[in-house]
Amino acid sequence: MSNHYNFAYLDEQTKRMIRRAILKGVAVPGYQVPFASREMPMPYGWGTGGVQVTAACLTPEDRLKVIDQGADDTTNAVSIRKFFQRTAEVAVTEHTAEATVIQTRHRIPERPLTAGQILVYQVPIPEPLRFLEPRETETRRMHALEDYGLMHVKLYEDIARNGAIATSYAYPVKVEGRYVMDPSPIPKFDNPKLSGTPALQLFGAGREQRIYAIPPFTEVISLDFEDYPFEATKAPHACDLCGDGGSYLDEVITDDAGGRMFVCSDTDHCASRQAAGHRGRLSPQEDAA
Amino acid sequence: MTPDAMTGGFADAPIQSAKGFRAILEVLSRPGTIVAAPGAQPPAPLSPAAGLAALVLFDGTTPVHLAGRHDCSAVRDWLTFQTGAPLVGAGEAMFAIGDWSALSPVTRFAIGTPEYPDRAATLIVETDRLAAEGALLRGPGIARTARLSLPEIAAFRANRALFPLGFDTLFTCGDRLAGLPRSTIVEGA
Ligand SMILES: [Zn+2]
């Protein structure tokens, strides 16, 4: 390998510290383990927490996929993928099924994950109680006492004001009946996929210096109320390119006259369906030949 | 220092550490799973799997307790040379290595605090038999149930009752490795 870099960029001492934090996170699902985050050669908004977790996990045998809002081809995703190609010499892929490690920002792939896969989330604000209580000593105490009344009050105020729980991203969950956890800013449409998956899910927050985990086959419940049950909503359309009525969609403005289309946010999912012959409302016409 | 202290470590530390970590991550993420964990050749009585865990996880910031026959000059010197980990009493240890009988009573080890449950010990239990049979396991990481040959049931049930506090456990046998995080619910055989 290259002599100019440590394997996966970080030095061995740092990776050991991160690895120990990951293992404690796995042992206490949903609990935020503090760790000493390192400077990475990219800005915080680019998911340095996720990058450090990925760096601590990668082996040369891995095949890495990086997605940003479901897409493999954004600047952020391409940069992180190249970074690990160069520093860890790992193989990369855009296909969910082929990946052993997937680093993600804001989405869970549509394709169900499998045993042996690790999904690493980039997390901006790991503390789900932070908007309700700015003091770290207080939020720690609340987690310690399992005192989540304030969170329920906030969600109920949402209902009183809007007639429904307005939170649509970073929708709080309870892990294995114990810790309330921020699933990172994934759309609440993705929340059901957090629960019971055969894959291991790891979460890294760089600026806030926290690592947490959901082991495989762990129960993850979105907080709700008996009279206002949680709903994994999405735009009421099918994808205009692949016709999927069940995937999470992005709205794309197509012209100045207000034209718009809905397309899968998961680009690998959409491309795979199109390659398999699925068509949507705005798919190019087939050649008559 | 015994001359053997300088041998039996990693020849390619970054790669072997990365692979070793994934083995440890696998067994703690999937309690009951037994994996091969080769790569370390520590002096007896330390097993290759326990040696691997030490090389992957220990350094100058991780106090280690050696129990019973593992508290010998060969193991002490090897761990000190290879990892720099300070050797301490059971109560201060972040990691402990020994046979189950030597580690017991395991209530001596750190279980974390309500605010910081991560500040808990990890026990590396050397066994002469490790098989996917015996105690019935349920909980995170387990699809329905799993089985693992535990040295006893009661101590792990008592540990689970402390959740989210409690120690976490790695079991080693030769170059094989299994794990039992504190989250696992242990039932009788
Ligand atoms: Zn589509």
Q: How far is B140 from chain A (nearest CA, A)?
A: 5
Q: Do B114 and A31 touch (CB under 8 A)?
A: no
State both tokens at A280: 């949507």
Residue A30 a catalytic site member: yes
Domain that holds residue B140: 8-187
State both tokens at B176: 């094989």
Mutant choice from B10, B12, B19, B21 vs A, greatest count of A C-beta within 10 A: B21
Q: Is residue B3 part of a domain?
A: no
Q: Looking at the complex, does the CB of residue B22 fall below 8 Å from at least one CB of chain A?
A: yes
pLDDT of residue B26: 98
Q: Which residue has the tokens 């762990």?
A: A218
pLDDT tens figures, B13-68: 999 999 999 999 999 999 999 999 999 999 999 999 999 999 999 999 999 999 99
Domain count, chain B: 1
pLDDT of residue A2: 45
The top-scoring range by mean pLDDT among A154-168, A203-217, A275-289 is: A203-217
Please report, as a single letter, which amino acid is at residue A57.
C
pLDDT tens figures, B118-145: 999 999 999 999 999 999 999 999 999 9
Contact B57, B81 (CB under 8 A): no
Q: Is residue B13 part of a domain?
A: yes
Q: Is residue B70 part of a domain?
A: yes
Interface of A with B in 70-129 (CB under 8 A): none
Mutant choice from B26, B27, B30, B118 vs A, greatest count of A C-beta within 10 A: B118
> What 3 state SS string does chain A have?
CCCCCECCECCHHHHHHHHHHHHHHHHCCCCCEECCCCCCCCCHHHCHHHHHHHHHHCCCCCEEEEEECCECCCHHHHHHHHHHHHHHCCEECCCHHHCCEEEEECCCCCCCCCCCCEEEEECCCCCCCCCCCCCHHHHHHHHHHCCCHHHHHHHHHHHHHHCCCCCCECCCEEECCCEEECCCCCEHHHHHHHCCCCCEEEEEECCCCEEEEECCCCCEEECCECCECCCCCCCCCCCCCCCCCCCCEEEEECCCCCCEEEEECCHHHHHHHHHCCCCCCCCCCCCCC
> Distances from the Cα of A161 to the Cαs of A155, A165, A166, A187, A225, in angstroms?
10, 9, 9, 21, 15
* Dist. CA A243–CA A245, nearest whole Å: 6
Residue A57 a catalytic site member: no
Percent over 90 (pLDDT), chain B: 96
Q: How far is A33 from chain B (nearest CA, A)?
A: 6
Q: How confident is the model at residue A289 (pLDDT cuts 50, 70, 90)?
A: very low
- Torsion sign across C-alpha atoms A38, A42, A45, A46: negative
Residues of B in contact with A144 (CB under 8 A): 114-115
pLDDT tens figures, A61-114: 999 999 999 999 999 999 999 999 999 999 999 999 999 999 999 999 999 999
Q: Is residue B1 part of a domain?
A: no
Q: Is residue B177 part of a domain?
A: yes
Mutant choice from A4, A18, A20, A201 vs B, greatest count of B C-beta within 10 A: A20
pLDDT tens figures, A103-161: 999 999 999 999 999 999 999 999 999 989 999 999 999 999 999 999 989 888 888 88
Residues of B in contact with A29 (CB under 8 A): 140, 183
> Distances from the Cα of A3 to the Cαs of A7, A28, A69, in angstroms?
9, 37, 34
Write down the ipTM of this complex: 0.98
Facing A200 at nearest CB: one of B29, B118, B122:
B29
Q: Looking at the complex, does the CB of residue B81 fall below 8 Å from at least one CB of chain A?
A: no
Compute the distance from residue A208 Cα to the ligand 1 centre, in Å: 35
The mean of the pLDDT values for chain B is: 97
pLDDT of residue A287: 54
**Higher-pLDDT residue of A46, B100:** B100
Q: How confident is the model at residue A1 (pLDDT cuts 50, 70, 90)?
A: very low
Determine which one of A50, A264, A277, A280 is catalytic.
A264
pLDDT tens figures, A230-276: 999 888 999 999 999 999 999 999 888 889 999 999 999 999 999 99
Task: Give me the CATH number covering residue B73.
Answer: 3.40.50.11310
Give the contacts of B31 (CB within 8 A, at least 6 positions apart): B137, B139, B141, B142, B146, B148, B178, B179, B180, B181, B184
Please determine, for residue A286, whether its predicted confidence score (pLDDT) is greater than 70.
Answer: no
Contact B17, A15 (CB under 8 A): yes
Q: How confident is the model at residue A166 (pLDDT cuts 50, 70, 90)?
A: confident
Q: How far is A107 from chain B (nearest CA, A)?
A: 22
Facing A23 at nearest CB: one of B24, B141, B163:
B24
Q: Do B183 and A215 touch (CB under 8 A)?
A: yes
Q: Is residue B2 part of a domain?
A: no
Q: Is residue B149 part of a domain?
A: yes
State both tokens at A230: 């949680």
Percent over 90 (pLDDT), chain A: 81
Percent over 70 (pLDDT), chain B: 98
Determine which one of A25, A30, A206, A280 is catalytic.
A30
Residues of B in contact with A60 (CB under 8 A): 15, 18
Q: Is residue B63 part of a domain?
A: yes
